[in-house]
Amino acid sequence: MIDPRPATNADRFLRLAQRGERGKLTVYLGMAPGVGKTYRMLQEAARKRAEGTDVVVGIAETHGRSETAALLEPFEVMARKSIAYEGHVLEEFDIDTALDRRPGLILVDELAHSNAPGSRHPKRWQDVAELLVSGIDVATTLNIQHIESLNDVIAGFTHVRVHETVPDSILAAAEIILVDLPPDALIARLMAGKVYLPETADRALANFFTLPKLAALRELALRFAAGSVDRHLRDELELSGADGDFAVGERLLVAISTGKGGAQVVRHAKRLADLAHAPWTAVVVESGSARSIAGRQREQLAENLALASSLGASLLTVAATDVAQALVDEARNLRASQIVIGKSRRSRWFEWRHGSVAQDVIRKARGAAVHVIPLDEADDKPAQTGEANPWQAPLLALLPVALAVALLWVFEGLVPAPVIDMALLVPVVAAAGLLRTSAGLWAALWAALAYNYFFTAPRFSLLISDSANVVTFVLLALVATVIGALASRVRRQAETSAGVARLNGSLARYAGLLGGISDRDETARVACREIGALLDVEAVIVTREGDRLVLRGNDNYTVLDTVSDAAARWTLEQAVPAGRDTGTLNASDWQFHPLQTSLGLMGALGLARSARGRVIRADDATLLASLIDQTALAHERLVLEEDARQVGTLRERDRLRGALLGSIAHDLKTPLTAVIAATEVIPDHGDYGEEVRIARSEARRLQRFLGDLLEASRIEDGGIEPRPETVDLTDIVAAVLRDLRQTDSSSRVVTRVDPDCPLIATDPVLLRHALINVIDNALKFSSERDRVEVVIACEEDRAICRVLDRGPGLPADHRALFERFKRLEGSDRVGGSGLGLWIAKNLVEALGGTIDAGNREGGGAAFAIALPLGSAARRPEDA
């Protein structure tokens, strides 16, 4: 059963942390095209831009409207990505550029749009979801007919089914801003040609844009926006921990009983919820007496709960002794605006003796409307477990009273007369505490009669001659009745507490058993055994390996019949319950529940019962839901442990490989230096001039490769520790050109430095090494005739060093260039090792900067290294 009560402190802290990491989604919602969603979005974006927010337009559709185009002009608009499809070039939102740009707010129009084939995601809302996960705020637009949960409803009266829909889940945390326009005003805009072209507008007016349909769409949009505001209010109250038991939006709570009229109450609550478009919760209060019901009434309770669940209610079970107070408390916790409860036709005598839950709820409820549903017929008296006949309670109550009277009669001479009436209260307390309330009341009656018959004059008669004994008799009967009722109430409270403690103990024991196992098969075996014992069912864990289903945990079941196999596959594919009593493949003997975790679907829990009736009674659903969660978490832990072992193995392997590479590089460094020195003194003219030049070039290439290996091993071992100094980028670039031997007249490198660029605080050694790799890469992939440009400039709080070449350019997946051992086509020809750019990326990131690459207009590649200026930034002339 789902418990939708306020979050705990731990939940609140986790949700606050998650909300801080994600971007904020703002959705401008309209009832139909043409209400001005994009216009309103651009207006709000302009306001935020004026306040200093970095706003970028990812994609915005003006639809030829001059007013919208005028609002769009001041913004930075991202270029769209061109995708070739079936001879056409389609332009779509470029999510990669958006992620690299990382603005404070990005505008992405038409959330329900379907992307062209070949895009990263098939739907634009998936692009938006990725932006939100990356921490970027997004503003977008949406029409009400594109919301998935409303698709069928809207198609029913518009006779137009929209295939581009957005799941409700992405809108759950969004801020919904309703862009409203009266239907007649929208039709006027349409007729004026401000929405569609004239020929399209005529068709729209005849079909979709009619006053009744637009009015219905407007109502749905208003209701959805109001519901969103209500959800946000509830979330904010829960996250803040503030006292907010008031009800703003409509919510219903319906009390579920064991009576025949329970189904009638559930159906009435469903009608009220539909009229109010409100969520509703079905609550069962388990008191001591409710827990002891048996037979047909137990089955009736399960049927009433199953009916409520099938009609869309959330289910909740509460343990309490005061049913009315528990219902009122839960209504306050759920912030329910309406309470629905049934009232059977009972006599006034019955209500005087047992009370009326409905009347108590009306008296105790504050701030909630109470709907009392008169039931058509009186409910049967609850059948209690272990009740043999109606004479059981008086007979059982008579035994302790008779025993007490016998002892008092034997020791009458030793017991003072005033003590006798007090002693007769003992069997009353015993009967009320050990048996039911009715037994305590019978014991009070027997004790009063026994005192009068055996211990007051005239004895062995019910007549009372002394007026003092009359008072004693009345007081004894009254005190015995009160004490019996109190003792019975204490017993019920103890039974309720014991039931909750047993449930918690079972869950704690189950979690403890699973926590000490690290084997998948043994985990499944223990889970199935314990679940079977707790719920009196047969249990099995089902997983899929390829196209084959694997059953674990129960040796009695190794295969499933055809229908059960289909139900298990449905659960594994859709992650929803299937099988018996679920509404999907009911012919199955098994009921399957998904073992869902944050890592995905771990498998399915199958349950079967040999006896007649439901696989799992609805009133056992609380325990079942907890067991499913514990089982799923146990399997998730096994996956994480396996991943951790693999990660440890890979880490050790990488460490050994890094050590080996570093050792080889160090061992070869000295002889290689000697070889290079020897080739330098050999003249490169004569009979062997060409061979000398080749040997010199290849020796230098090998030296660079060994240097890259040494640097890679340092990076993997975490040996990079920046030591910032105040440096001039001009000096760094000059040192790099000297290392690359690009300082004489034959140099192919041209530098341009912004004279206003200040000194920056960075590690000159790491930056120098990064620039050597980037510039050397540009020289290798450029022809001897082309120049490589190094441009240094300052933008806002960053220093940018761009390296531009006229080589063959970069492939479409150029971000992979910064991966280790990633090489372009032709790397063998130019001597590429696949480590240079990876090393440069790691060094620049260690300095707190970023490195990016792209293609230049007219051909060639462009690399940009952005470094923070730091607190030591100052102009060279101030140094």
DSSP string, 258-318: SSTTHHHHHHHHHHHHHHHT--EEEEEEE-HHHHTB-THHHHHHHHHHHHHHHTT-EEEEE
Sheet holding 338-343, edge to edge: 314-319, 280-286, 252-255, 338-343, 369-374
> Quick count: other Cβ atoms within 10 Å of Cβ 55?
24
Helix (H) or strand (E) holding 108: strand 105-108
Positive or negative CA dihedral for 688, 690, 696, 702?
Answer: negative
Tell whether pTM > 0.75.
no
Cα dihedral 805, 807, 813, 817 in deg (nearest 10): -70
Cα–Cα distances in angstroms (integers) from residue 676 to residues 207, 670, 703, 707, 835, in the given order: 83, 10, 9, 14, 22
Record: fold of 520-634 = Beta-Lactamase (3.30.450)
pLDDT at 680: 72
Q: Max alpha carbon distance in the chain (Å)?
A: 150
Q: Which residue has the higher pLDDT, 434 or 14?
A: 434
- In angstroms, the CA 761 to CA 771 distance is 16
571 token code pair: 């659960």
What are the tokens at 7? 């979050």
Mean pLDDT to the nearest integer, 85-105 = 87
What is d(CA 163, CA 482) in angstroms, rounded to the nearest whole number? Answer: 68
Res. 2: pLDDT tops 50: no
- The pLDDT score that the predictor gives to residue 396 is 74
User: Distance between CA 142 and CA 205 in Å, rounded?
Assistant: 21
């090393």: which residue's tokens? 839
Residue 760, SS3?
A: strand
Task: Please tell me whether residue 627 adopts helix, strand or coil conformation.
Answer: helix
Neighbours of 220 (CB within 10 A): 19
pLDDT of residue 382: 47
- β-strand partners of 479: none
* CATH number for the segment(s) 720-878: 3.30.565.10
Q: What are phi and psi of 775, to 5 degrees?
A: -70, -40
Residue 648 — pLDDT band, cuts 50, 70, 90? Answer: confident
Query: Within 10 A of 291 (CB to CB), how many other CB atoms are there?
Result: 15
Between 401-415, 694-708, 859-873, the lowest mean confidence (pLDDT) is in 694-708
Burial class (CB in 10 A: 0-12, 13-18, 19+), 313: buried
Q: Where in the chain is the domain with CATH 3.30.450.40?
A: 520-634
CB 531 within 8 A of CB 605: yes
Using pLDDT thresholds of 50, 70 and 90, give the confidence band for residue 28.
very high
- Whether the pLDDT of residue 873 is over 50: the answer is no
Render pLDDT for 599-636 as a digit per residue (tens, 0 to 9).
778 888 888 875 544 545 545 666 777 788 878 877 77
Cα 22 to the chain's mean position, in Å? 12
Which stretch of 443-447, 578-582, 757-761 has the lowest confidence by average pLDDT? 443-447
- Looking at residue 384, its pLDDT comes to 46
**Residue-wise pLDDT tens digits, 312-358:** 777 777 767 678 888 888 888 777 888 998 887 766 666 666 667 88
Q: Which residues contact 672 (CB under 8 A, 6 or more apart)?
A: 699, 702, 703, 706
Give the architecture-level CATH label for domain 252-374: 3-Layer(aba) Sandwich (3.40)
Query: What is the bridge-based pairing of β-strands 280-286 and 314-319?
Result: parallel
Q: 272-293, pLDDT tens digit by residue? A: 888 887 888 888 887 654 444 5
Q: Once rounded to an integer, what is the mean pLDDT over residues 242-271?
A: 75
Look up residue 720 and give its DSSP letter: -
- Classify residue 7 by its DSSP letter: P
Q: Give residue 405's pLDDT band: very low, low, confident or very high (50, 70, 90).
A: confident
- What integer best gives the mean pLDDT of the chain? 75
* CA distances in angstroms from 102 to 97, 138, 559, 799, 841, listed in the order given: 8, 11, 53, 18, 19
Q: Are 427 and 403 in contact (CB under 8 A)?
A: yes
Assigned token pair, 85: 């499809």
Q: What is the DSSP letter of 457?
A: S
Lowest average pLDDT, out of 115-129, 415-429, 705-719, goes to: 705-719
pLDDT over 70 (residue 97) = yes
Tell me the mean pLDDT in the region 401-416: 75
Average pLDDT over residues 374-397: 59
Rg (CA), the chain: 40
Burial 631-648 (b: 16+ CB within 10 A, else e): bbbbbbbbeeeeeeeeee
pLDDT tens for 288-325 read 544 445 455 666 777 777 778 777 777 777 767 678 88
Q: Give yes or no for a contact between 523 and 517, defined as CB atoms under 8 angstroms apart.
A: yes
Residue ranges in 584-722 assigned as alpha helix (H)? 621-681, 689-716
Cα–Cα dist 685/837, whole Å: 35
CA distance 519 to 537: 23
Mean pLDDT, residues 380-388 taken together: 47
- Per residue in 557-611, pLDDT (tens digit) is 888 888 888 888 888 888 888 887 766 777 788 888 888 876 778 888 888 875 5
Where does the chain hold its CATH 3.30.565.10 domain(s)? Answer: 720-878
**Is the bond preceding 458 in cis, omega lying within 30 degrees of 0?**
yes
Provide the pLDDT for residue 140: 95
Which has more confidence, 311 or 246? 311
Domain with CATH 3.40.50.300 in the chain: 9-240
Torsion of CA 216, 218, 219, 221, to 10 degrees: 120
Least trusted range by pLDDT, from 514-528, 778-792, 830-844: 830-844
Helix (H/G/I), strand (E/B), else coil: 327: helix
Lowest mean pLDDT across 261-265, 328-332, 706-710: 706-710
Which residue did the predictor score with more confidence, 388 or 462?
462
Instruction: Enumerate the CATH 3.40.50.620 domain ranges in the chain, comma separated.
Output: 252-374
Residue 213 clears pLDDT 70, i.e. is over it: yes
User: CA-to-CA distance for 798 and 870, rounded, in angstroms?
Assistant: 9
Q: In the CATH hierarchy, which fold is given to the domain comprising 9-240?
A: Rossmann fold (3.40.50)
Instruction: List CB contacts of 571: < 8 A, sequence separation 6 or more.
Output: 542, 577, 578, 579, 592, 593, 594, 604
Q: Spell 529-559 as b/e; 16+ CB within 10 A means b.
A: ebbbebbebbbbbbbeeeeebebbbbeebee
pLDDT at res. 435: 62
DSSP annotation string for 603-621:
EEEEEE-SSSS-SS-GGGH
* Closest-CA residue to 302 (of 336, 272, 257, 334): 257
Residue 471: per-residue pLDDT: 63
Please say if the pLDDT value at position 251 is more than 80.
yes
**How would you label 675-703 residue by residue, b for 16+ Cβ within 10 Å and e otherwise?**
beeebeeeeeeeeeeeebeebbeebbebb
More confident residue, 68 or 159: 68
Query: Which pLDDT score, from 0 to 100, does residue 25 have?
Result: 92
- pLDDT confidence of residue 452: 67
* Number of helices followed by number of strands (H, E) in the chain: 29, 25
Give the range among 64-78, 206-220, 377-391 with minimum mean pLDDT: 377-391
- Cα–Cα distances (Å) from 629 to 138, 428, 511, 601, 749, in that order, read 34, 46, 10, 12, 63
Residue 383: pLDDT above 50?
A: no
pLDDT of residue 498: 60
Rounded to 5 degrees, what angle do the CA atoms 373, 379, 381 make? Answer: 140
DSSP reduced 3-state for 871: coil
Among residues of the chain, what percentage have pLDDT more than 90?
Answer: 6
Contact between 177 and 48 (Cβ < 8 Å): no
How far apart, in Å, do the first and last CA atoms of the chain sit?
A: 71
Length of the chain: 879
CB-count burial class (<10 Å; 0-12, 13-18, 19+) for 469: middle
